Amino acid sequence: MTKIFKKRRSMLYIPGNNPAMIQQGGVYGADSILLDLEDAVALNQKDAARILVRNMINVIDFYDSEVCVRVNHLSTPFGLADLEAIVPLQPSAIRYPKTESGEEVAELLKIIEQIEDRHGLPHTKMTLHAMIETAMGVQNVFDIASKFDRVDAITIGGQDLTADMNIVYTPDGAGIDFARKRIVMAAKASHIDVIDTVFPDVNDEDGLRRETEYAKRIGFTGKAVINPRQIEIIHDVYTPTDEEVRKAYRIVKEFKINSAAGIGVFAIDGKMIDAPIVTRAEYILRLANVTVG
């Protein structure tokens, strides 16, 4: 599959059984909308939520937000029914919870592509986001991230991971720090996006900002969101500043001029500019929707 750049600074969870919130999903301004059929939906609401999401996903205008659906795991009574209902709709991505191995992803993709074949759909449109929420998933994350063209993002599920590790989630994230960094490294080595876990205290805006700044520093592409109030802070952290954009613009412009002259490495204000710095500058410009003519 051809990799397409998508802003994924924020991914807003919306319970699949909440029609009002689904209807308003696009107006919240998140880069991605995550319609949830898994943990946010009670067992006795699973079938109703699946029907609701199936009926609303193609009639609601989500504006510029990417639309993903988190299905239930195939080991549950609901996973296969979720795939049968959602795959034919071809949202931007299916998010799969508690992914633990490359073999598990291969089996999931086999089922997805069988459904697509029955509906005459290509295998090249909808992608897969694998959630890493167990210690086994952390151990196998590189296989999960690197072997499949349709996996274009991985995410860490902090609450389930701490439960699987039998530890308590703390505001400093100490217990899952190793997992965070291992998951980021697997994503970077695989050239895919990596999304941080939710910040559970919606009233602690300072804590959310600190955790988002840390996630950005260690390499996460963006952060999951459980309340629309959290989106603005996350976007503020991840959106390049005007100074960063001006600097990136200058670097890319000079790079184009020097490349045309056959020069690969050059200097701006006495500082060497080479390929990695240009790549970083190009990424900043994509985030800022700026092109260099």
Name the binding residues for Mg(2+): 133, 160
Contact present, 224 and 196 (Cβ < 8 Å): yes
Q: Taking Cα atoms as reference points, which of 79, 99, 89 lies closest to residue 148?
A: 99
- In Å, how far are 82, 98, 136 from 101, measured between CA atoms? 21, 10, 8
Long-range contacts of 14-19 (CB under 8 A, 24+ apart): 14/40, 15/40, 15/41, 15/49, 16/40, 16/41, 16/49, 16/50, 16/52, 16/53, 16/69, 17/41, 17/42, 17/45, 17/48, 17/49, 17/52, 19/52, 19/56
Binding-site annotation, residues: 70, 133, 160
Binding site residues for substrate, as ranges?
A: 70, 133
Find tokens 């602690």 and name the residue.
204
Chain centroid to CA 238: 14
Crossing angle between the packed helical segments 79-86 and 102-118, to the nearest 10 degrees: 40
